[in-house]
Structure 1
């Protein structure tokens, strides 16, 4: 009888240990899925991969650029993970509003209009808009030369807003496209007279791709880029982003990232 009781006790102990092991395994899988297994939460980050040198996809399908390297470095510094989600620039803020993204880093200029919808980090890059024409165009040097001309811009950008705000004063037509390469092609083909683009982006594109384009005149403004989260949400995450950005600047890693893609 004692032997029978011993066997029952032994069987119960085995079942108990198996149940504990099963629970531990489930917890490990959950941590791996959320990124907590490596010490922090995973956040989904919206990027626009048609925007070199800030974001682009290389020949091996890897996402690269200033913004990509910067958000990864901030995440590593602050102990969280990121999942990059490429999309058209015009869809990034709506995706934040819909809860599909936690963060946006896409060469996004800090504007009062956008501040009504998102909270920005401290500025991480000073850009500025510029006019771009065909290389052999000798007629256009400034906004005053655009009367009766066609200006192409990218949807949802500060360049598009600038063009709309100044259209009546300078008397040009506006064509809106969805990405930067399409804008470059539109001017190169002669379908539009000029485009409006962020200075570092077009300077990089002309240098790297040997485009038949040139920058004309002075910069039109002095935009600053910021990293965005939905307004009133993710305040703790925004604090981490700002803290990480400051530490990267202090350590020199921020300059190293910029120098990888932009030479002075």
Structure 2
């Protein structure tokens, strides 16, 4: 029997028994089959994510509880250090990163983003009663804390270079940076405007925002999925859920509860 004959016989046999290739995996179908969606976040990033006497709460949880309800599954929340979240997502340790992740051109090339959940423009906070620094440019030559591995860290570095230099000190969490600012080890802390607004609102005796507080280009926070065909249906389901929540007022109510006001946000991730 020749090779051609053998190959022909195999193809004929496959056709006879109705041979088909297995369908591509679908993340949304897998999640619905399991009845749960596994998430990762850093529970030390108020007002989005925080632990209150061991209980997870915050704006992120309130939003994602509603999204999971719309999808029809139970959310599983995991407290993961920020620097381990995106690498863990890539290797499939969880379905989605719900820590507020700043949308950047570099990240858009590598990940899929949900619709924005908040403004993420970088801003500055100082110790209450510090009258030596008022505007952002006053941090020139000062020591400024920021969470490591964040877009705010990169924006602070770039801004510091335009001022002739800023001593940037990195922290694993924003809480650690705030503690050092309160004890005088730092001159200022850089972070997203919503985080710093919440901080000053709850601790006005200790912290104050710069005026103006923001610097750099306007940016947004969103959640992150793997950038692959299998995740497209999950992204579409989250977009549909958030559109419904925006239309019926749930997004506005949750924003107002945690941030004190409502900001209308794009329906999809800008640039995606």
User: TM-score interval w.r.t. the shorter chain?
Assistant: 0.7 to 0.9
1:186 aligns with 2:183: no
Contact in 2 for aligned 1:148/1:173 (Cα 8 Å) = yes
Contact in 2 for aligned 1:153/1:183 (Cα 8 Å) = yes
3-state SS of 2:99 partner: coil
- 1:106-255 equivalent positions in 2, closer than 5 A: 106-170=99-163, 171-210=165-204, 212-218=206-212, 219-220=214-215, 221-232=217-228, 233-255=230-252
- 1:8 corresponds to: none
Q: Deviations over 1:231-253 (max 9, x none)?
A: 12511111111110000001111
| Rounded Cα–Cα distance in structure 2 between residues aligned with 1:106 and 1:41 | 22
**Cα offset for 1:194?**
0.9
| Rounded Cα–Cα distance in structure 1 between residues aligned with 2:142 and 2:31 | 52
**TM-score using structure 2 length:** 0.78
| Rounded Cα–Cα distance in structure 1 between residues aligned with 2:83 and 2:201 | 26
Contact in 1 for aligned 2:157/2:166 (Cα 8 Å) = no
- 2:72 corresponds to: 79
1:260 aligns with 2:240: no
**Cα offset for 1:169?**
1.8
| Rounded Cα–Cα distance in structure 1 between residues aligned with 2:246 and 2:202 | 27
| Rounded Cα–Cα distance in structure 2 between residues aligned with 1:40 and 1:247 | 24
Contact in 1 for aligned 2:136/2:210 (Cα 8 Å) = no
| Rounded Cα–Cα distance in structure 2 between residues aligned with 1:64 and 1:215 | 24
Please point out which of 30, 37, 44 is paired with 1:43: 37
- Please give the root-mean-square deviation of Cα atoms over the aligned residues, in Å: 1.9
3-state SS of 2:202 partner: helix
Q: What is the count of residue pairs matched by the alignment?
A: 228
| Rounded Cα–Cα distance in structure 1 between residues aligned with 2:41 and 2:59 | 11
| Rounded Cα–Cα distance in structure 2 between residues aligned with 1:40 and 1:154 | 35
- 1:57-76 equivalent positions in 2, closer than 5 A: 57-59=51-53, 61-76=54-69
**Cα offset for 1:80?**
2.5
> Does 143-152 or 154-163 show the bigger shift?
143-152
Contact in 2 for aligned 1:40/1:79 (Cα 8 Å) = no
Tell which structure's C-alpha radius of gyration is larger.
1
Q: Deviations over 1:120-149 (max 9, x none)?
A: 012222232111111121121233222221
